[in-house]
A and B are shown apart, each in its own frame.
Chain A
Amino acid sequence: MDKLLQFLSLPRRLWEEAQERLFFLPPFPEQIDSLALFSLLLVVGLLIGESLHARLRWPRLIGYVLAGSLFGPSLLGWITIEALGQARPIADAALGLLLLEAGRRLDLRWLASNPALLRGALADVVLSFLVIYLFASAVVGLAPAWAAATAAVTMASAPAVVLLTVEESKAQGQITERIILYTALGSAASFVLFAFVLGVVHAEFSSDWLNAVVHPLWVVVGGALIAWLVSRFALAVARRLPKRSLAQVFILVASALFAVGVARMLAVPVFLTLFLMGALLAFRDQEQTLKYTELPDGHWLLAIILFVVVGASLPWHEFTWLTGLYAIGLLGARALAKIAALYWSGGELPSAKRLLVGVGIQPLSATAVFMVYEVAGLYPEVGRSVLLLPLFAAAIMELAGPALCRAALVRAGETEAGAREKGGIG
C-alpha cells in the first residue's frame, strides 16, 4: 500500500500544480469513487470466477470469494476496510434479494403434504445445533453463550450459495428441490436462534437486562414488521399490474431494496428481514399475484459483489493452525449431523439420494459471516476473537460449499452438465 501511495505521489503533485491554473479541477481524489470500485470488483471477481469455471469446472462463486480474499484487507489490501464499508450497501442488497428468494421458496404446502420432509428438517436443525454446540463447548472450550452463538450462525445451509449454485448448474429435480427447502427451513430456524442468542450474549456480558430482552425483540419484531408492511405494499401495488410483467419485477425488486434500506436504518439484520419478507410474500399471495414473477438476471451482478465483499471480509490474517483445525473439526461434525439427519428422516426418496441432499446442504457462507459480525459487534473486545471459529468455518466452506453442493446435484443427475454427459442434453 505504501508503494502504491508513493507511486501516486507524482500524479498528485502534478494535479495540484495544474489545479492552481485550471480552477475547474476538483481536489485530487483521495478515494476511489464507489461506482468505479464496484465496477472493478465486478470485473476482477467475474474474471477469476469465469476462468476457474471454464478451466476446472469449479462453481463461479469460489472465484468471486477468492478474488475478494486476495484483494481484501487480509492479503493484498487493494480493497481497503473503507472500501468494504462503501460496498456494504450493495452487498446487503444482493444478500437481501437472494434471501427474499429463499423465503419465497419456503413451501409450507409441500411440507404439510409430506411428513418425511418435516421430519428431515427438524432432525437437521436439532442435530446440527446440538452437535456444533457440543463441539464448540466441549472440544474448543467456548463459553456456553459463544458456543450457542457459534451453533446458531453455522447450523444452517447458505441460501445464497445454494440458490446461485442451483441456478448456475441449471439443476432440476427432487434433490434440488429438497436442498432448497431444507436450506430455507434451516435458515428460518437459524434466524430464530440467532435472535435468541443475541439476548444470551447480552445477558452474559452486560449487567443491564434491558438489552438482553429488548434486543432480540427489536430484531425479530422489527424485522417482521418491516417484512409485513413491505410485502403487503408490494402485493397491493403488484395486484394492479399484469402478472409476470416487467412492472411487477420492478415492484418486487424496488420493495426488496426498500426493505433493505429500512432494515439498515433501524439496525435490524437485512438477511432476517428479507427472508421474512419472502416468506410472507409466499404465504399471503393467495391470488398468485407475485408467485410467478422472477428476479431479473441482473442479480448475478449483485451476487458477484456480495461474494467478493464476503471474501474480503474474511480475517485470513488472523488465521492460526489451531483455529483452522477447530474449524475443520466443526465442519466435519456439522457435516455428519446433516447427513445423519437426512439419512434417518426416511421418506420415499431412496437413502442414497437422501445422502446427496445431506451433502447438498453443506454450504455455509454470506449469511453466517454477516451474522457473526452482527454478534461480534455487540461486544467487540471479546466477541471478535471468540467468533473467529465460525468465521474460519465459513471461510473454508466459502470455497468447499459451492463445490459440495454442485457435486451433489451433478451426482444426482439433475444438472444440465450431468445430463449432457449421459447424452441427455444437447
Chain B
Amino acid sequence: MSGALGNFTHSEALSLGVELELQLVSRRDYDLTRGATDLLGAMNYDGHFGEIKLEITESMIEVSTMPQARVAGIAGDLRGLRDTLVRHCTKNNIAVCGGGTHPYHRWAERRICPGDRFDEIYQRYGYLAKQFTVFGQHIHVGCTSADDAIWLTQALAEHVPAFIALSAASPFVDGVDTFFQSARLNAVSAFPLSGQCPPLGSWLEFVAHFEFLRDCGIVRSIKDLYWDVRPKPEYGTVEIRVCDTPLDVNTATALAALAQALCRHLLRTRPPLHAERWQHVARYNKFQACRYGMEAMLSDPVRRCQEPLRERVLALFDALAEDGRELECSPWLDALRGVAEHGNGDAAWLRTRATAQGNLNDVVREAAERLMQQGGNGNGEGA
C-alpha cells in the first residue's frame, strides 16, 4: 500500500454517503456572498446529521451526511443538514441555494476561504480556483474490498453520462444561457487531473499508477485526482463526482438511490468491462450529456454505434427494478425515472423560471425558496 494513499478502509457493502456543495447567496440581491467562515464560526451544531464544512471559496458550503445503509437515512440526514444550515443562514441574512452554478456571479469577486489547503490550491491553480465556485454532489458507495472499489470505478465510468443528465442543474453562467444542461463540468475540466480514471484492473495497479504520478511530481494525495469516479481509500468507498447539486434534497437523495442500486446491480451481475474502449469515447459522451442532457446521443464503443441517452437510461431503470426493491429505494428511482422520461429536470426548471421572470435574480430567489421549502418524507414523494 502506498504511504500517501493510506490503507483502504473497508466499509459495509453498498453503504451510502452524500456530499452536497451549496451556494450561499445574499437575501438582498441573491448574488453569491462571502459568508462561509462567519457562518461556521458562529454555528452551534452537534454534528447529528453529518458534517458542515468550508469549501474553496467563501460563497460555498459543503454538507456531508453520515454513512447510511439505506436511502431513507440519507434523506433524513440531508433534510436535517438543510434545516440546520437554513436556520443559521437566516440569522445572517443569507439564503442557501442548490444548482450546479450560480447563474450570474462574477468569479473574480470570489474570496478564497482561509486555510493552508485552500491557499495552496489557490497558489497552485490561480484563477481556476475561483472559477471553481461551482456546486456538485458527490455520492459515496461503500465497498468491502479495495479491488471492488477499483472494479466499480471502471464499471461506473460507462454510466457517467446518466448521472450528469439526471442531475443537470447549471444551464446559466455569467448571466447567459450556455445552451448546456450542465455547464458546471466545464469549470472542472480545466484542471489538469480531471477526467477519467485510466483502465486499471486492481487495487495494486491503482497504487502503482498513483505512485507513478506521485514520483513524476503530479500528485501528492488522492485529493489531487479530480476524476469523474474515483476510489476513496480513506472512507472505503467509490465516489461518483459528476452530479450537479440538485435544486432540492429529494433529487439529491434519488441520485444516491440510483448510485446504490446501480452498484448493487453491477456487483451482482459483474458485466464484462471494456474499460479501454470506453476510455476513447468518455469525453465525447460526457460532452453530449452536459450539452444535451437526456437528448444526448451517446457512442457505444463496444457495439460501435450511437444510441440515445434517454433509451439507455430507461433501460437501466428497468434493469434496476429488483435492486431497487431489495434496497427499499424504488420510489426514489421511480421519481428519477420520471425526470428521464419527461426531461423536466432542474435545468429545464431553471430555464422555465428565467423565461417567466425575465431576470436571473428572481430565479435564484425561487431556487433558494425551493431548497428551503422542499420537505419530502423519505419515500421519494416530491423527488
Contacts and interface: CB of A to CB of B under 8 A. Distances in A.
Interface of A: 105, 107, 109-110, 113-114, 170, 172-174, 177, 242-244, 288, 291-292, 348-350, 353, 413-414, 419, 422-426
Contact of A243 (B27, B109, B114, B358): B358
A174 B93 CA distance: 9
B119 interface: yes
Contacts of B111: 172, 419, 424-425
A292 B152 CA distance: 47
Given A107-B28, A172-B34, A426-B130, 4 more contacts: A174-B42, A177-B93, A349-B38, A424-B119
Closest 6 CB pairs of A and B: A348-B42, A172-B34, A174-B38, A243-B359, A110-B93, A424-B112
Contacts of A413: 114
B35 interface: yes
Contacts of A349: 38, 42
A348 B91 contact: yes
Contacts of B38: 173-174, 349, 353
Contact of B29 (A291, A419, A422, A425): A291
B2 interface: no
A107 B34 contact: no
A422 B92 CA distance: 24
B3 interface: no
Interface string B91-120: 111000000000000000101101000010
A419 to B, nearest CB: 5
A350 B34 contact: no
Given A423-B122, A424-B122, A288 B365 contact: yes
B123 interface: yes
Q: Which of B38, B114, B119 has the most CB of A within 10 A?
A: B38
A110 B41 contact: no
A358 B40 CA distance: 22
Interface of B: 27-30, 33-35, 38, 41-44, 58, 88, 90-93, 109, 111-112, 114, 119, 122-123, 126-127, 130, 357-359, 361-362, 365
A426 B124 CA distance: 13
A39 to B, nearest CB: 32
A143 B93 CA distance: 43
A400 B126 CA distance: 37
Given A172-B111, A422-B114, A242 B93 contact: no
A2 B119 CA distance: 62
A170 B34 CA distance: 11
Contact of A109 (B27, B88, B114): B27
B35 A174 contact: yes
Contacts of A107: 27-28, 93
Contacts of B361: 243-244, 288, 291-292
Contact of A244 (B42, B112, B122, B359): B359
B42 A414 contact: no
Contact of A426 (B43, B44, B91, B126): B126
Contacts of A424: 111-112, 114, 119, 122
A173 B35 contact: yes
A288 B362 contact: yes
A426 B44 CA distance: 33
Contacts of A105: 28
B29 A292 contact: yes
Nearest to B91: A114
A173 B24 CA distance: 11
A242 B359 CA distance: 8
Contacts of A174: 35, 38, 42, 92
Contact of B123 (A110, A244, A423): A423
30 contacts: A107-B28, A107-B93, A110-B93, A113-B90, A113-B93, A170-B109, A173-B33, A173-B34, A173-B38, A174-B42, A174-B92, A177-B92, A243-B358, A243-B359, A244-B361, A288-B361, A348-B42, A348-B44, A348-B92, A349-B38, A350-B41, A350-B42, A353-B38, A422-B114, A422-B119, A423-B119, A424-B111, A424-B112, A424-B114, A424-B119
B240 to A, nearest CB: 31
A393 B226 CA distance: 58
A138 to B, nearest CB: 39
A84 B130 CA distance: 47
A423 B35 contact: no
A190 to B, nearest CB: 23
Contacts of A422: 114, 119
A170 B361 CA distance: 20
A243 B92 contact: no
A314 B43 CA distance: 46
A172 B30 CA distance: 14
A114 B93 CA distance: 9
Highest count of chain A CB atoms <10 Å: which of B42, B111, B122:
B111
Given A172-B111, A244-B361, A414 B91 contact: no
A105 B365 CA distance: 18
Contacts of B30: 292
Contacts of A414: 34
A425 B30 CA distance: 22
B362 A243 contact: yes
B278 to A, nearest CB: 38
A378 B81 CA distance: 59
Contacts of B365: 288
A205 B204 CA distance: 94
A113 B111 CA distance: 27
A424 B36 CA distance: 14
Contacts of A425: 111-112
Nearest to B119: A423
Nearest to A414: B34
Contacts of B362: 243, 288
A107 B29 CA distance: 12
B16 to A, nearest CB: 32
Nearest to B118: A424
Contacts of A244: 359, 361
A227 B210 CA distance: 67
A292 B25 CA distance: 13
A415 to B, nearest CB: 10
Contacts of A243: 357-359, 361-362
Nearest to A288: B362
Given A172-B111, A419-B111, A425-B111, A242 B358 contact: yes
A349 B92 CA distance: 9
A414 B34 CA distance: 8
B356 to A, nearest CB: 12
A424 B126 CA distance: 10
Nearest to A413: B114
B178 to A, nearest CB: 20
B373 to A, nearest CB: 16
Contacts of A177: 92-93
A242 B354 CA distance: 13
B131 to A, nearest CB: 12
